[in-house]
Amino acid sequence: MRHMQRILMVLGAWTAVALLFSVQMRFQGESPRSWGWIAGWQLAGWWSWAAFTPLVTTFSDRAARLGSPFRIVAAHVPAALATAVLCAAAEGAVKWALGIYRTTPLSLGAGVSYAVAMYWTFNVLIYAMVVGLYHAVRAARLESQLMQARLDALTGQLQPHFLFNTLHTISAFVLEDPKQANRMITRLSELLRHSFSREHGPLVTLEEELQLLDHYVAIQEARFGDRLKVTFRVDAGTGAAAVPTFLLQPLVENAIRHGADPPGGSGIAEVEIAAVRVGDRLRLEVRDNGPGIPAGAGRNGGVGIANTRARLAQLYGAGHSFALVNAPAGKGGAVATVEIPYVDHAYRHR
């Protein structure tokens, strides 16, 4: 259904362009042609672009993941030339088939050659326009998803249950341990400041993401005390890797929530956060020692994890993987695993 809607939107957009050019063409010159001929001439050209637009946007989506701007442009140059020629050839073939060339009837080859010679340079500009519009829409969608991630994180942090327990813990420390109370207030303020901040784009370094996560974890550890143990296992050199903003916080929140009742009656919820580089991939894991996922049931983790899935798909497409499964037999609990291409954040923005 959504695929059909996109097709109709693309066809409708190019039809509107064809009609605008038809109006311009109808009223220029001293001996205007009939509306039928003009409409056929314009639709043959712009509907050819309607057929090529999905191919151009699909290629643009893949090219956007190449990393550096130079590599992206280098990929688009031959694609633009090939698309310009093929689209012009398709336009020429359609016009020949409809018999609407202005001159005497041409052969198919002559009609195609004429269209290619006339329109290929103009089609290069159209290709650039389509790519530019695609990236504008993609950037807007990513910004929307990032704002949703901020809202999800802020909602989780400001849930009455979370905020009440945090403030209750602070109040308990005010007299018993004023320094700890002050540290918790600082952590909470930093957490909220980062949630409201618009300084970060869709991607940050893993080091920055872990710094934000550290505030959240510190608050939860202060609340739960000895009943919660969170450990970090981060490979040296992975801190500069580019990761989506607010990627780990919903995964850790999910692990703490579902790992709060570990098997065996130990009463200690254990959460491990790991970052490992595997070749040209970055693997992130969040593991808990809770009861795991019941047989036949899924654990989607609510809107936070659903938004994380959507952002990963938008940023990396088929180049990422996301799994939320039970840990191997004997270890208990569940593990969330994210794999994305390893890209140095500083190099990407150089």
The pTM of the full predicted model, rounded to 2 decimals, is: 0.57
Q: Does residue 196 sit in the same domain as residue 334?
A: yes
Residue 298: the pLDDT is 53
What rounded mean pLDDT belongs to the chain? 81
**Coil/strand/helix, residue 81:** helix
Over residues 41-47, mean pLDDT? 88
- Write out the residue range of the structural domain in which residue 10 sits: 2-139
Q: Does residue 199 sit in the same domain as residue 51?
A: no
User: Measured between alpha carbons, how far is 340 from 283 in angstroms, rounded to an integer?
Assistant: 7
Q: Does residue 201 sit in the same domain as residue 131?
A: no
Instruction: Tell me whether residue 344 is in a domain.
Output: yes
Instruction: Tell me whether residue 146 is in a domain.
Output: no
Question: Between 284 and 181, whose confidence is greater?
Answer: 284
Encode pLDDT of 218-263 as tens digits: 888 888 888 888 999 999 889 999 998 888 988 888 888 876 655 4
Beta strands in the chain (DSSP E): 203-205, 228-234, 242-244, 269-278, 281-288, 321-326, 334-341
Residue 197: the pLDDT is 66
Q: Which residues pair with 204 in a beta bridge?
A: 243
Encode pLDDT of 70-94 as tens digits: 888 888 999 999 999 999 999 889 8
User: Which tokens go with 286?
Assistant: 């969040």
Around Cβ 253, how many Cβ atoms within 10 Å? 24
Residue 150: the pLDDT is 65
Residue 349: the pLDDT is 45
Q: Does residue 119 sit in the same domain as residue 264?
A: no
**Domain end among 82, 106, 139:** 139
Q: Does residue 99 sit in the same domain as residue 168?
A: no
Q: Which of 92-106, 212-226, 307-321 has the lowest mean pLDDT?
A: 92-106
Instruction: Tell me whether residue 71 is in a domain.
Output: yes
**CA quadruple 185, 187, 191, 196: dihedral sign:** positive
Give yes or no for residue 350 having a pLDDT over 50.
no
Residue 180: the pLDDT is 84
- State CA 35 to chain mean position distance: 44
Instruction: Tell me whether residue 144 is in a domain.
Output: no
Q: Does residue 322 sit in the same domain as residue 194?
A: yes
Q: Does residue 206 sit in the same domain as residue 323?
A: yes
**Domain end among 109, 139, 169:** 139
Q: How many domains does the chain have?
A: 2
CATH number where 218 lies: 3.30.565.10
Over residues 337-347, mean pLDDT? 82
DSSP for 145-186 reads HHHHHHHHHHHHHH-HHHHHHHHHHHHHHHHH-HHHHHHHHH
**Domain end among 80, 105, 139:** 139
Q: Does residue 133 sit in the same domain as residue 168?
A: no
